[in-house]
Structure 1
């Protein structure tokens, strides 16, 4: 039964760290949306998901006179948006309920679905309706792809619909198989795309060949991955420890973001220093917070009177003041990343579990004059 625009199912609170990123399955049926209203942009349909399109992605409905018109079904009645999400319609409390979905008002049918910051998915699916009964290009080959990518843009997996048809505008063999109401599940007219894998950050759905422009979509579903958020206070040498145990041999992704200082009353930059930032991205709760020149991966500014002014090494310079341990504190090292210096001061590191919790520490001494915190997120990798 359709109930609302979004519904979260089987939420599992894992109790991880200072702030929990819960594992959850979300189903979006668009029933509470307003026909014609955009579904694009951060949080338009759900706080964890952003839809983008080079066209105009909007809500549409299953009803005569409903606009915008994406497709008509079944043939020959051609009810606008016929059988959206529930072929043949459905009944609740003895009354017919019209379905709603989303589509591209400009008929480009190219959508990108991106998950929110510090959120990745293990599954994403969406239902495509009414593809195949109209073939304006009279193409013989037809292909629609849904490709999942990780946070670095590498492909995780893909789901491809590919088939051949008669080279005519209305292929007779797809008069039913390409109709939203008459097609069986799994035929082009009622096809569900589904991708599964670890670390899915972005999904693109688009028509590659033999487009049927008059189509619609419904019933988005996705499952996010649990993660843990930690805070490293640079005023302490005491390691912080995750509640997550990094399983032996399994990949994990560590994200660190923030700026800090290891000097008290940093007021005047050194002669070879880069430009400091006025305050920490995440200020310390205690003590003064002034200029900063360090982030998790780079030293980009320092005060006058320090030894860094002697070196001619270019700025910013790699820094190893933050160390991690995956073996219970037996060994420590700064993790490696290929990420370049960036104004967001955010870097991603790949780790391999060793059957212990993650530990993170600052190795500067003394730390009493430090200020600024670093946000750390731990998630399963790929």
Structure 2
């Protein structure tokens, strides 16, 4: 089983609209999804204040989403005065009017990023091994010691990882580096911040040779192989999400009654689909996504055309907050409205609405693009 510090690689859809990055952002205000208790809060906010990190126009940073190659290029271009040491290369998949074409050109000319077969692959996600190479090149890091993680001893990125570790930029996870796993936006922010504020006197110590044992989620997967994709990735911090853990324990019974399986990764989100699922909309690569924001506030988005996802969403909603059971009929109604409109080819303006139930403010409904049904339950306290 492949484990990792992942976050998403797909877009976490928390509201009824699609978001786009902004070019300028208010620097004194926190991101709505990065609380002061978040493990990388200080690094993210300091770079936000410096204008390196902008976030999204809805006020979020999406810290647990995997970071794309073009976004890495942008952060480096904002952080460093990059010298042009290589001639500019025209990538097939980066047209001159691409939003980040200038930043991509800068990191390529600075010999930080390489293309493959004439392509930059801007929207692909960065792996930890690739991250090591990028930062080692960008900051001209020199290794101070030949310490290796058990999973990088024979890896192509070994020298780059050595450079990061021996300069105090990475410390691994559970005794491993996990080179092939995707880097989240929060993780990259943390790595970049350390590289920008490197301690020249850092003295590396040998890497412990007693990696930590499998966490609780990995044991759950081993005990329920029929419910999980074979190569599903698991973040080390998943047990910090109370609601997420509840869905992976008490909530498994509901999954067993459907044809859905967990796939892709488990971080602060859970992704499920039938192995033969063919999404009608590209924005819905999964049939159901569950996001645990802080142990009380949670979001569920799902393909309203899927009966399995529809029933699981309601069961998990009630498991997350029993007081929301009264919304079940309203959810049924909104899904039926969307299904009818789609069947008849009718114009659909969306049917989202806010409802106050007990300690929760809940937004429910199918968006106007008919991509997904959303149940967004914000805990008010």
The interval holding the TM-score normalised by the smaller chain is under 0.3
RCO higher in structure (CA 8 A, sep ≥6): 1
More strand by share: 1
The TM-score normalised by the length of structure 1 is 0.24
More helix by share: 2
